[in-house]
A = this chain, B = another copy of it.
Amino acid sequence: MTSIEPLSGSSSIIDILDPADDRIAAFRDVRERDLTRSGQFIAEGAVVLDQILASRRFRPVSLLVLRERLDGLSARLSALPAYVPIYRAEREVFDRIAGFPVHRGVMALAEPVLASGEADVEAALEATLESRGNIVVACGLSNHDNMGAIFRNAAAFGAGAVILDERACDPLYRKAIRVSVGTVFTVPFVRWGSAAEIAERLSSMGYECLALTPNAADALRDIRDIRPRALFLGAEGDGLEDSVMSRCRPVRIEMAPGLDSLNVATSAALVLHHLAFPARS
């Protein structure tokens, strides 16, 4: 009972009438699933899909699209490679597949093109050193909203790469992808070892490692020279271990008296903006 019709481009559109259809198994109960073991992941929304198509590190495997959204997406969809099937479903079937009412109406199953992003990141780190730019190191962050927001801010202020320590959560988790507005697909990232090892390695490459701490002598606006820097971010609450802090230059974000409460991704935005666009003197 499935009709298949060619798109104006090259992919085929396949109607899905049964939520139990095996071909859309990856999209089923998407909130409960963790596909990360297979290396594949689900991305939602047209903007995020654009970022996957713009990335050379990830590729779409298949799409699930709400029937009524198909026309609005046709320009994007005709840019898809021919091997990517587009599954189309009515709202009722779509929501039953996803397991909740989906607003965006387009989901992509995607996967990394390279087994590891290591080479890509090495190139990004070299380029960032060369241009005296900045990178971000996310240590022990367990909140996917914060992880996504860190990528969004890294992209906004041109950070060259994001390095994850062994404990940081997965940027390709559904919620992180959504909050990042798809920038997890365009900002190169890689997972290295412990935060202290990362600080060691980046320092030896020529990066100045920065860490935020309310008691630092230097405020953000005291940092006025331009050089390659790595901003270390710890989990809200726990912060960074001493073994990492001792390898970093401490810096503080000035706040109203009596307050020391700022979201970790917001802190990253303040530092990255300042480093990328220092005040004119």
Residues of B within 8 A of A256 (CB): 155-158, 276
State which of A4-12, A17-25, A192-200, A264-272 sits at the interface with chain B: A264-272
Residues of B within 8 A of A278 (CB): 221, 279
The answer to whether A277 touches B262, judged by C-beta atoms less than 8 angstroms apart, is no
Quote the shortest CB–CB distance from A157 to chain B (angstroms). 6
Q: How far is the CA of A276 from the CA of B253 in the complex (A)?
A: 11
Quote the shortest CB–CB distance from A260 to chain B (angstroms). 8
- Which partner residue on chain B sits nearest A155 by CB separation? B259
Query: A241-276 CB contact bits vs B (8 Å, 1 = yes)?
Result: 000000000000111110101110110011001001
Residues of B within 8 A of A257 (CB): 158
Residues of B within 8 A of A158 (CB): 255-257
Quote the shortest CB–CB distance from A8 to chain B (angstroms). 27
Quote the shortest CB–CB distance from A261 to chain B (angstroms). 6
User: Do A273 and B259 form a contact, CB below 8 Å, given A149-B266, A266-B265?
Assistant: no
The answer to whether A255 touches B221, judged by C-beta atoms less than 8 angstroms apart, is no
The answer to whether B156 touches A262, judged by C-beta atoms less than 8 angstroms apart, is yes
Instruction: Say yes or no: is A88 at the interface (Cβ < 8 Å to chain B).
Output: no
Residues of B within 8 A of A265 (CB): 266
Task: From the candidates B181, B183, B222, B269, name the one contacting A270 in the complex (CB within 8 A).
Answer: B269
Quote the shortest CB–CB distance from A20 to chain B (angstroms). 29
Task: From the candidates B152, B153, B255, B277, name the one contacting A254 in the complex (CB within 8 A).
Answer: B277
Residues of B within 8 A of A261 (CB): 152, 155-156, 181, 183
The answer to whether A269 touches B262, judged by C-beta atoms less than 8 angstroms apart, is yes
- Which partner residue on chain B sits nearest A47 by CB separation? B261
Residues of B within 8 A of A183 (CB): 261
Query: A139-158 CB contact bits vs B (8 Å, 1 = yes)?
Result: 00000000001001101111
Instruction: Say yes or no: is A219 at the interface (Cβ < 8 Å to chain B).
Output: yes
Residues of B within 8 A of A224 (CB): 279
The answer to whether A221 touches B279, judged by C-beta atoms less than 8 angstroms apart, is yes
The answer to whether B157 touches A255, judged by C-beta atoms less than 8 angstroms apart, is yes
Residues of B within 8 A of A273 (CB): 253-254, 270
Instruction: Say yes or no: is A281 at the interface (Cβ < 8 Å to chain B).
Output: yes
Q: How far is the CA of A250 from the CA of B268 in the complex (A)?
A: 24
Quote the shortest CB–CB distance from A253 to chain B (angstroms). 7
- A residues bordering B, Cβ < 8 Å? 149, 152-153, 155-158, 181, 183, 219-222, 224, 253-257, 259, 261-263, 265-266, 269-270, 273, 276-281
